[in-house]
Structure 1
């Protein structure tokens, strides 16, 4: 009995000593100060908000041991200067999207979105359970970078058009504002693709400098003023079935961060990603309803099947060309890995998504008007 009591007492004492030691070590841990630059405008809903939410959460969870000062796009570095700033170590991290770096590292744009590609759940599965994130970081390591998934927009819209689209012929000759692989696909159908900053899109549509444009989804599109200048709002978002954004960290900075703080960064990124997906769903739904109410002339329409088929065919051509053009071989590696994972998941996804949208949802979702 005395021996058991002694062992029990000794065990509790050892645990208490361990906790005291851990608490003391945490209290004595070095403090870190990071700068985060983003590709989002000041006050930009969800994405810039999410970057700031992430920094605040890291500060709280680390008890002030890791503080991150957030700078919106254009404040400290240009919105499209995040890659260079973080890679060079001028700042510690950034909130951005990898498809902005297609001109520097073509393969990494596939980790943001693929035309006719993964939706949110599938993208998450590929990155976290299908080897996608490991491949992403293997490629980023060459540029002294580490990627952590941070937020996802969910499925975007196909865009705003000043005229109705009834066939692939109606797309030819359109001056269309878009970006990324989707832009190259639209060019295949005869569009004159233009890349404009967000603030310039609606004025360009209003003046007739462009005929159509895609931005994000109802919440951000309404805020920019699209319903005032274009009548036709098309879905589905074939070019970006989901758009995965990233926390980009300087590789040396990440390697020098203690394990405990790395865990906090990853946990905070996961929390903010879940928050952002929910925000996009809710805010897009509310904004779409408001657009229909305030602008009854706006027609929300599905792209005709003939147009979607033409876009799908053009996508296959673009992907083949991109694979051949990247002399590093990384684009092919990522695309092959994507296709392998998609094939692995196809049978299950066909059942899962077909049921969700064609059967179950039809019981309660109204038809889009």
Structure 2
């Protein structure tokens, strides 16, 4: 401040200044300006660092999984948009807690936020899975996110978290995923009867659906699946996509990859924050967390388009056989979904969400089926 005051005195001296020393005055001004600039250059970064809010943010995914990479993409978007005022420090699953303990750790404040899927919390209320792995109404995951944004889905999610369960959380749904495979097996699944008594890993409402089909379902985090198959604790399992499945090591324990399924044909990610921490950020940083989710959603879809086909082909070259799930098995899944939805709709809130989803799907998918030209005919025309 002294330099600034001296500079103002020299530069601002009016008629009584000694006009015979203009060079000296200019030198004094420039020296003062340089000094003031140096102070600013030193002090401003210190101010910025002092104002940075750091949040501990853990994913539910192993460090090497593409899902953890997707979490990193979201984190980078938040950090870049905030201009240094907010910094998410990303940790992989297990760094603080296991994948299935993430929500409790955030509620308690052991973590500030995290990246996962809402279906992991369906043990607290099965409606959680309706915001992650809902029934197969004929919609895809992007259409499900349309329901979240414009069909009342976010308000229902907030009602579940805030009013029904009274959790100290704020969450956003993001990043639509392609249809998931039926999974990895020791032998091909030819009929619905082949699923009966099968020791099988899945998560969320898909567990209820497969139990309705007679499977013996186990729920576990991503890192535990392949070791469990290797030890014979599982006869079959699904995780999500070719890139994740390849990285997790499924081709080392199975060569039969059943693709296409109705158990999780519309899934999305979830980012959650401790509500106290979130409320203290203020409106601007809160909006950054929200809009970063939308930006990361788009980028994730495009990245998946690039990576998934390449990883599927790489696994085929290692001897993996990709087999389409037979129509009879798909129909058995739909029949099982009907029973699960009817049974769980005895809960008023669950039914409220299902009714909202069905109304949206009937309108949106109905329009798509009427409006969009069939892609299969054009694809076969050009590629055979």
TM-score grouping bracket, smaller chain normalisation: 0.7 to 0.9
In 2, Cα distance between equivalents of 1:31 and 1:202? 40
Q: Which residue of 1 aligns with 2:186?
A: 162
Post-superposition Cα deviations, 1:259-312, rounded to whole Å, max 9, x if no partner, equal 2222222222222111222222221100111112221xx332221111111111
Does the 8 A contact of 1:218 with 1:284 survive in 2? yes
Post-superposition Cα deviations, 1:164-221, rounded to whole Å, max 9, x if no partner, equal 2222222222222222211221122221112244333334334443221111111111
In 1, Cα distance between equivalents of 2:214 and 2:126? 23
Confirm whether residue 253 of structure 1 aligns to residue 277 of structure 2: yes
Q: Which moved more, 1:329-338 or 1:149-158?
A: 149-158
Measured on the aligned residues, the alpha-carbon RMSD in Å equals: 2.3
Query: Given the alignment, which residue of 316, 336, 361 partners 2:379?
Result: 361
Does the 8 A contact of 2:99 with 2:221 survive in 1? no
| TM-score, with length taken from structure 1 | 0.83
Query: Given the alignment, which residue of 200, 203, 210 partners 1:179?
Result: 203
When residues 32 and 225 of structure 1 are mapped into structure 2, their CA distance, relative to the original with a 3 A threshold, is closer
Does the 8 A contact of 1:179 with 1:195 survive in 2? yes
In 2, Cα distance between equivalents of 1:113 and 1:80? 16
Query: Given the alignment, which residue of 335, 342, 351 partners 1:332?
Result: 351
| TM-score, with length taken from structure 2 | 0.80
Q: Compute the displacement of 1:315 (Å).
A: 0.8
Q: Which residue of 2 aligns with 1:348?
A: 367
Q: Which residue of 2 aligns with 1:20?
A: none
In 2, Cα distance between equivalents of 1:274 and 1:365? 27
Show structure 1 runs of 5+ residues with no match.
Answer: 1-25
In 2, Cα distance between equivalents of 1:29 and 1:126? 40
When residues 304 and 145 of structure 1 are mapped into structure 2, their CA distance, relative to the original with a 3 A threshold, is same
Q: Compute the displacement of 1:110 (Å).
A: 0.6
Query: Given the alignment, which residue of 67, 90, 100 partners 1:70?
Result: 90
Q: Which moved more, 1:186-195 or 1:333-342?
A: 186-195
Matches of residues 137-152 of structure 1 in structure 2 within 5 Å? 137-141=158-162, 142-152=166-176
In 1, Cα distance between equivalents of 2:213 and 2:176? 28
Confirm whether residue 308 of structure 1 aligns to residue 330 of structure 2: yes
Does the 8 A contact of 1:146 with 1:249 survive in 2? yes
SS at match of 1:42: coil
When residues 94 and 188 of structure 1 are mapped into structure 2, their CA distance, relative to the original with a 3 A threshold, is same
In 1, Cα distance between equivalents of 2:59 and 2:48? 31
When residues 54 and 203 of structure 1 are mapped into structure 2, their CA distance, relative to the original with a 3 A threshold, is closer
Query: Given the alignment, which residue of 285, 293, 312 partners 1:269?
Result: 293
In 1, Cα distance between equivalents of 2:357 and 2:70? 27
When residues 364 and 232 of structure 1 are mapped into structure 2, their CA distance, relative to the original with a 3 A threshold, is farther
Query: Given the alignment, which residue of 342, 354, 360 partners 1:320?
Result: 342
Does the 8 A contact of 2:207 with 2:217 survive in 1? yes
Q: Compute the displacement of 1:352 (Å).
A: 5.0
In 2, Cα distance between equivalents of 1:74 and 1:206? 21
Query: Given the alignment, which residue of 149, 153, 156 partners 1:128?
Result: 149
Q: Compute the displacement of 1:107 (Å).
A: 1.0
SS at match of 2:61: coil
Q: Compute the displacement of 1:30 (Å).
A: 4.7
When residues 244 and 133 of structure 1 are mapped into structure 2, their CA distance, relative to the original with a 3 A threshold, is same
Matches of residues 13-32 of structure 1 in structure 2 within 5 Å? 30-32=51-53
Query: Given the alignment, which residue of 119, 122, 127 partners 1:99?
Result: 119
Q: Compute the displacement of 1:28 (Å).
A: 12
